[in-house]
């Protein structure tokens, strides 16, 4: 489970997150939705301290960090939190000089000290899970965007994290390739993987999210079960935003 409490984040004078609190239940998928600049990606990156908020509490399982004015978290605190997470980025961020299987192996070998043979076996298991064993020896440059993102998902799962964080995992893909990634993430959701994702992809959010948080101007406007937020939102701003997403999705089709 993830607990984010009263997260405050500034970039200079820009107050990006204004006391945001979010709970992500274990075994569920929570989608952060909102317009560009709403703070959803910043909140996601604060969850594993890629962005350090000015104040608030972040808890993932039994690891917690509390931030306040005049107190910076220690390196060990941050690493303990990060080890609970796997991260899937918008633009894949695969190492171009490593093959697909080597990309998945890399963290196991260099960070966790696994023998290469054991790491390779684990990597091949994960590539099979995301349907990429046939491309195990391929270089990232030879893969489609959807294939690269599937390798990136396998890499994020390599260390068996408690939660998977996904930052706009389909936004760099055309609708057909995005469908490949949605299918993989949906399977992980069915298997009970705890996920927090920032997304503007209505198909992704509606198909796999159990809970939805709608952010606007750095604040939580509405949060609840996906069926309620998508089917009968209580706030006019939520209704307007979901209507705009639906129109964009239908146009793309």
**Which residue in 150, 164, 159 sits closest to 195, CA to CA?**
164
pLDDT tens profile 87-102: 999 888 899 999 999 9
Residues 3 and 104 both lie in one domain = no
CATH at residue 35: 3.40.50.300
pLDDT at residue 253, rounded to an integer: 41
pLDDT at residue 97, rounded to an integer: 96
Q: Which domain holds residue 210?
A: 1-84+163-188+196-253
pLDDT tens profile 5-19: 999 999 999 999 999
Burial of 15 (0-12, 13-18, 19+ CB in 10 A): middle
Burial of 124 (0-12, 13-18, 19+ CB in 10 A): middle
Dist CA 53 CA 66 (whole Å): 10
As for how many domains the chain has, the answer is 2
E-assigned strand segments in 79-229: 85-88, 163-167, 194-198, 211-216, 219-225
Residues 216 and 238 both lie in one domain = yes
Residues 225 and 212 both lie in one domain = yes
Tokens of 237: 């701003």
User: Taking a C-beta distance cutoff of 8 angstroms, is the pair 141, 97 a contact?
Assistant: no
Dist CA 79 CA 156 (whole Å): 16
Residues 213 and 104 both lie in one domain = no
Residues 98 and 169 both lie in one domain = no
pLDDT at residue 248, rounded to an integer: 55
Residues 128 and 29 both lie in one domain = no
| Residue 3 CB coordination number (10 Å) | 14
The predicted model scores a pTM of 0.91
Tokens of 95: 């190492």
E-assigned strand segments in 163-247: 163-167, 194-198, 211-216, 219-225
Residues 76 and 171 both lie in one domain = yes
Residues 68 and 1 both lie in one domain = yes
Give residues with Cβ within 8 angstroms of 117, minimum separation 6: none
pLDDT of the chain along its 253 residues, tens only? 899 999 999 999 999 999 999 999 999 999 999 998 999 999 999 999 999 999 999 999 999 999 987 777 888 988 999 999 999 998 888 999 999 999 999 999 998 999 999 999 999 999 999 999 999 999 999 999 999 999 999 999 999 999 999 999 988 888 788 888 888 998 999 999 999 999 988 778 888 999 999 999 999 999 999 999 998 999 999 999 988 766 555 444 4
Tokens of 190: 């069915």
The DSSP letter of residue 73 is P
pLDDT at residue 62, rounded to an integer: 92
E-assigned strand segments in 49-126: 55-60, 63-67, 85-88
Residues 24 and 123 both lie in one domain = no
Residues 65 and 181 both lie in one domain = yes
Residues 59 and 98 both lie in one domain = no
pLDDT at residue 39, rounded to an integer: 94
Region for 192 from its dihedrals, namely left if φ exceeds 0, alpha if ψ lies in -120 to 50, beta otherwise = left
Residues 123 and 103 both lie in one domain = yes
pLDDT tens profile 119-162: 999 999 999 999 999 999 999 999 999 999 999 999 999 999 99
Helical (H) or strand (E) element with 21: strand 14-24
């Amino acid at each position: 489970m993830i607990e984010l409490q009263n997260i405050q984040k500034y970039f200079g004078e820009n107050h990006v997150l204004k006391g945001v609190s979010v709970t992500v239940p274990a075994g569920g998928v929570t989608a952060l939705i909102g317009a560009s600049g709403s703070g959803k990606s910043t909140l996601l990156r604060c969850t594993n301290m890629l962005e350090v908020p000015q104040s608030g509490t972040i808890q993932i399982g039994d690891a917690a960090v509390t931030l306040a004015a005049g107190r910076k978290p220690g390196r060990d605190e941050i690493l303990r939190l990060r080890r609970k997470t796997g991260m899937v980025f918008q633009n894949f961020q695969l190492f171009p000089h490593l093959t697909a299987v080597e990309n998945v192996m890399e963290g196991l070998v260099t960070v966790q000290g696994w023998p290469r043979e054991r790491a390779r076996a684990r990597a091949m298991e994960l590539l099979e899970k995301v349907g990429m064993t046939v491309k195990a020896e391929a270089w990232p440059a030879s893969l489609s965007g959807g294939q690269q993102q599937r390798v990136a998902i396998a890499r994020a799962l390599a260390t068996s994290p408690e939660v998977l964080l996904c930052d706009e995992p389909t936004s760099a893909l055309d609708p057909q390739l995005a469908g490949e990634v949605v299918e993989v993430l949906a399977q992980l959701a069915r298997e009970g993987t705890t996920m927090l994702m920032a997304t503007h992809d209505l198909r992704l959010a509606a198909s796999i999210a159990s809970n939805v948080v709608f952010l606007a101007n750095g604040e939580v406007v509405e949060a609840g079960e996906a069926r309620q937020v998508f089917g009968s939102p209580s706030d006019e701003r939520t209704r307007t935003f979901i209507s705009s997403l639906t129109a964009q999705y239908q146009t793309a089709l």
